[in-house]
Structure 1
Amino acid sequence: MTTVPRASLLGIPTELRLQIYDSLMDEDVNYAVIKRWTGGHGRDGFFTTATRNPEARLNLPWLSAMLSCPTIAYEMRSLMRNRKEGDSKYTTYVMSAELGNGGGDVRDVTWQRLPCAPSDAEVLIIECGAESDDFEPWGDGGPRNIVRSMYQTLNLFLHCGPRLDPTNPLLLGHVHLRELVVNVRMRGEIRQYFSMSGEPIKFSRSAYTLIRDMILRPLCYTGLLVGYVDRAAISDGKEESVMPMRTERGGVPEHWDRYGFEWGVGEVAGAR
């Protein structure tokens, strides 16, 4: 009776194993980590809270393979190091988020690509979908919740990694990105406004200008991103704005106090 050799990943040629590792790390993920952000006001000021998706499970095939065997882990780490030096695609995280209509709450925060560990991530791309409507950044008593929730989404990622879980901050320190890119995709026609004389008024309160002027610009100008992000840019598909970065480390400005713009892991960034 002929004995059939037991199949083994380590039993195939190294070149084939590297191709398998490469395909595992190149897979897209669909990790819908947060269903929506909601905000409110209490005794301590404004707050925003993330409602997590209870059905979401973070399953990374490349990580499962690394944990299966020390030899495979060693080979995959070597491949990752070579990739990191040659192709930024393998150190780029991609997130999508829906901004809704009019700037109420951020919802459906989903990871599309997570090809490496947070410590190796160099680029974060956030794809924002929004209705072509009038985004009012400031409401009665303070910034609209969309501003606070976008701010806290970035805050949680930089301090807690892709799970965005404030109860489990990163053990080796915060994420340091070479580049942060926000792409805003507007759906539908942008409404046109007219003056009393009938002249068209330039639309200036889109999701693009809201994120640029109310989130990225203040973060870069105050120096809060120093040590976290080296370059920040935003695009609407037609133009790209690169934010001027302050070089000295700064903190949360005093005029943001009680508005839900705490930096780091705290109660304001809590999730349920």
Structure 2
Amino acid sequence: MLPGVYLATRKDGKIYYRSSITYKNKHISLGSYEYEEMAHQAYLLAGVVLADPNTYRIEDYPKKCILNFNKWVSLINYRDNGLYIKTPIYLKNKFFLYYIDKDTTLIFDIDDLFYYSRRTIMKRGGHLFVAEYGMQVNLLSRYGIKNYGIPGRDYRFVNGDNTDFTYNNIELINRYYGVTRINTKGQIRYLTKVHVNGYYIIGRYSTEMEAAIAYNKATLLLNNKGLLKDFPKNYIEELDEITYASMFQKVRISKKFLAYVDSLDIN
């Protein structure tokens, strides 16, 4: 066999060729190929990429390349930074780049390296996902942004770059279900609404926590009345059970909404 090539057999008995290279005592799989010569070419190219940092950079990825792009990034990162990562990550000083493809790069804090070094980010219909226990999870949810979150209303990227997911660059505006921050004559207030065949205003509150608790109280009233709808619940980590219960009892609900709840006749 040619250098860097190993013969393998699929479950159906068909032969294929696996390519790999060893660099600095690290054995790296390069991929599987239909022909021996293709696997050998992958081995040769990987050797050139790894040997000299002046040969190739990530942006030099050829239009027709025997190595897939993710592997290209992994090899160059290993060459330059001495750490092999299976996902397409390139390390910087206090952050790292994650390459969705050659033209799309995301920025993350170095604290997130362990998480993303073990997960593939997918892009579909303009949305970013990762696989979690067999499910596709919206990338934004990792940063406290709800699935329905609207940029500019519920969250914003401080520097205007929506590919920069470093923690200092993500500002949560509306963190809770049913709560919207509003500016009334220069004063910040929090509007709570619940959706039942249209939106009903629950109230306007001086703090975000009050507004979030009001949403929980309003949806509980609806459920207790017999409305079989699975409303999401706001969890407020800053409050212990006693403080939460006290605020829950005291928070005021719109009289109009209370009248609507009383009028419901659900069998």
**Fold match (TM-score > 0.5):** no
Q: Which has the higher strand share?
A: 2
Specify the structure having the higher radius of gyration (Cα).
2
The higher-RCO structure (CA 8 Å, 6+ apart) is 1
TM-score normalised by L of structure 2? 0.26
TM-score normalised by L of structure 1? 0.26
